[in-house]
Chain A
């Protein structure tokens, strides 16, 4: 278990280097001069050159990359061009908000998705299956920014039960546990949960149906186990795959929430990224993408290790 974890950790290193090169290059391939955003268009050539060297933009690309990567390793992702604050601090507080949202959404999505998928798999071909499958189909198909707006119209505008936007009373930084904060989380988390819910429901439906079609579930019945006890075996067999799908969904949500965070003005990484794109804030953009990519790598690692802990065949064979 530990050895497997360490081995997987070693695999992460080349992936991390590759990811950092890709996100460094992506920004440089994108059109537009970052200096244009902070300098007036009639700035003198000297001033332009000075700013260019201040941000290190005058050096060759590999050197820029090496300097950037070296500083990134030491926790220095530069200074935001737009706000003048250290990028790392901005990303950290935004990441916490995004993680809160993504975890809440994954929990909601996994809970409902697992229940729907399990019922659909057990009662395959019946009306229960058709209803559950229809719900999960709607979940993956509905555009979530649209759903977000509908929820806002119903619950914030019409009913006035929940706030339409923002991260809570403390703005983007203050966080505490309590209804005052939770009520801001509910609508964006529900909006974000529908896609993972649909995907998880469909995965678990086919998993459960597969497992129930195998000989061993009949053998379990043949030794007198009751339905509940047999279902425990089914769940245990389905768990490794279900968890890995959940982990991947969590990974997607940590980075893929630009639309939802923008709709709800949720002060997370997606919101930060959106702002950085519009203000051509290169250091923030690079830093955020790097951090999000690393999140994804990390989540994959955790999922792999967890999976091997549950399914004996993965690490032993």
Chain B
């Protein structure tokens, strides 16, 4: 942690959804910082709180959600922003690419119109200038025949092209931070690679700080500089890509790596982590992974392990390393 001014600094974030009968603690004390120009992958299975953590940076939660802790983005305290200030943050400073481009774009507006609208919301430019910038963005994300495509409606485009449009829209106001919520999960395998490469290229060109949420460790290794592994609303391990891939410390990370389909090659069965993630309305008292952990001992069931520094830049939350 040599850099004095991280682009994103999340301290002790907790997010609780108060809909339904019982409050759901989706994120439980997450701390994470991202340097300028750095890509961090948040890795975890469904319900681990990775997406909720990321959306907190835009405060995109339904009404009645409790957010605790502090979040700073580009020197701004996100937790204290007014509605208006939040609107000014979303787009020119932090923008987001959604998982399903087909659902995340307005079906009755042309793509060009949707990009122009974003630019004109944040900058005082004419319609003609906004439209010229939309065209430049479409070129940048390598959409063929961009002039024609700008006049298309979302239902007239393929998933890959829509995700490119979504990326173009996210970059429309030159943000500093890009949040990517499983942007390749809904796409075909070949298109996935193209989109990953595109995001990587644009990230370098724009010097973006990126939080990339994914459940696919291969995707995380492809795009990220660092990986933070989440389980049941907490970060259980964090480190550089090579540390996580080659020397995973937390039993959950080890399990995730073992469960990859590629590694099943030559074996007749896929190795899986036994059991299921805990119920977020009724969390176990100790380490949340302890009921599924192959090496759990008695204290694991009563005490929540701290996330402690390990190695050069890595951190791990496991009693074995405490």
Contact, CB under 8 Å: A221 / B122? no
Across-interface contacts of B91 in A (CB, < 8 A): 223-224
Q: How far is the CA of A69 from the CA of B259 in the complex (A)?
A: 77
- Let me know if B156 is at the binding interface, CB within 8 A: yes
- Let me know if A3 is at the binding interface, CB within 8 A: no
Total of A-B residue pairs, C-beta within 8 Å = 76
Contact, CB under 8 Å: B104 / A226? no
Q: A216-B105, A216-B106 are in contact. Are A226 and B87 (CB under 8 A)?
A: yes
Contact among A215, A225, A237 with B108 in the assembled complex (CB-CB below 8 Å): A237
- Let me know if A222 is at the binding interface, CB within 8 A: yes
- Let me know if B153 is at the binding interface, CB within 8 A: yes
Contact, CB under 8 Å: A222 / B155? no
Contact, CB under 8 Å: B87 / A218? no
- Let me know if B118 is at the binding interface, CB within 8 A: yes
- Let me know if B103 is at the binding interface, CB within 8 A: yes
Interface size class of A (residues with CB under 8 A): 20 to 34
Contact among A214, A224, A236, A237 with B87 in the assembled complex (CB-CB below 8 Å): A224
* Residues of chain B from 67 to 91 with CB closer than 8 A to chain A in the complex: 84, 87-91
Contact, CB under 8 Å: A223 / B155? no
Q: How far is the CA of A118 from the CA of B118 in the complex (A)?
A: 25
Across-interface contacts of B107 in A (CB, < 8 A): 216, 237, 313
A206-227 vs B, CB cutoff 8 Å, 1 = contact: the mask equals 0000000011101111111110
Across-interface contacts of B169 in A (CB, < 8 A): 223
Q: A218-B60, A219-B98 are in contact. Are A224 and B105 (CB under 8 A)?
A: no
Contact, CB under 8 Å: A225 / B96? no
Shortest CB distance B212–A (Å): 16
* Residues of chain A from 234 to 283 with CB closer than 8 A to chain B in the complex: 236-237, 240
- Let me know if A8 is at the binding interface, CB within 8 A: no
Contact, CB under 8 Å: A313 / B155? yes
Contact among A216, A310, A317 with B104 in the assembled complex (CB-CB below 8 Å): A216
Across-interface contacts of B103 in A (CB, < 8 A): 214-216
Q: How far is the CA of A317 from the CA of B105 in the complex (A)?
A: 18
Contact, CB under 8 Å: A224 / B153? no
Q: How far is the CA of A229 from the CA of B58 in the complex (A)?
A: 18
Shortest CB distance A232–B (Å): 10
- Let me know if B303 is at the binding interface, CB within 8 A: no
B106-123 vs A, CB cutoff 8 Å, 1 = contact: the mask equals 111100000001100110
Across-interface contacts of A76 in B (CB, < 8 A): none
Shortest CB distance B125–A (Å): 15
Contact, CB under 8 Å: A312 / B89? no
Contact among A214, A215, A224, A312 with B90 in the assembled complex (CB-CB below 8 Å): A224
Closest chain A residue to B93, Cβ basis = A224
Shortest CB distance A1–B (Å): 15
Contact, CB under 8 Å: A237 / B106? yes
* Residues of chain A from 175 to 230 with CB closer than 8 A to chain B in the complex: 214-216, 218-226, 229
Across-interface contacts of A233 in B (CB, < 8 A): 106, 109
Contact, CB under 8 Å: B60 / A312? no
Shortest CB distance A31–B (Å): 52
Contact, CB under 8 Å: A312 / B108? yes
Q: How far is the CA of A310 from the CA of B153 in the complex (A)?
A: 13
Residue from B60, B84, B96, B108 whose CB has the most chain A CB atoms within 10 Å? B108
Across-interface contacts of B89 in A (CB, < 8 A): 224
- Let me know if B100 is at the binding interface, CB within 8 A: yes
Contact among A214, A225, A311 with B117 in the assembled complex (CB-CB below 8 Å): A225
- Let me know if A158 is at the binding interface, CB within 8 A: no
Contact, CB under 8 Å: B121 / A225? yes
Contact, CB under 8 Å: B121 / A219? no
- Let me know if A316 is at the binding interface, CB within 8 A: yes
Across-interface contacts of B109 in A (CB, < 8 A): 233, 236
Q: How far is the CA of A222 from the CA of B118 in the complex (A)?
A: 10
Contact among A214, A218, A223 with B121 in the assembled complex (CB-CB below 8 Å): A223
Top 7 nearest A-B pairs (CB, nearest first) are A224-B91, A224-B90, A215-B103, A219-B104, A222-B96, A215-B104, A223-B118
What are 24 A-B contacts defined by CB distance under 8 Å? A215-B98, A215-B103, A215-B104, A216-B103, A218-B60, A219-B98, A220-B106, A221-B90, A222-B90, A223-B118, A224-B88, A224-B92, A225-B117, A225-B118, A226-B84, A226-B87, A236-B109, A237-B106, A237-B108, A240-B108, A312-B108, A313-B108, A316-B155, A316-B156
Q: A224-B118, A240-B108 are in contact. List 15 more A-B contacts (CB 8 A).
A: A216-B105, A222-B58, A222-B96, A223-B90, A223-B96, A223-B169, A224-B87, A224-B122, A225-B117, A225-B121, A226-B84, A226-B87, A233-B106, A233-B109, A237-B106
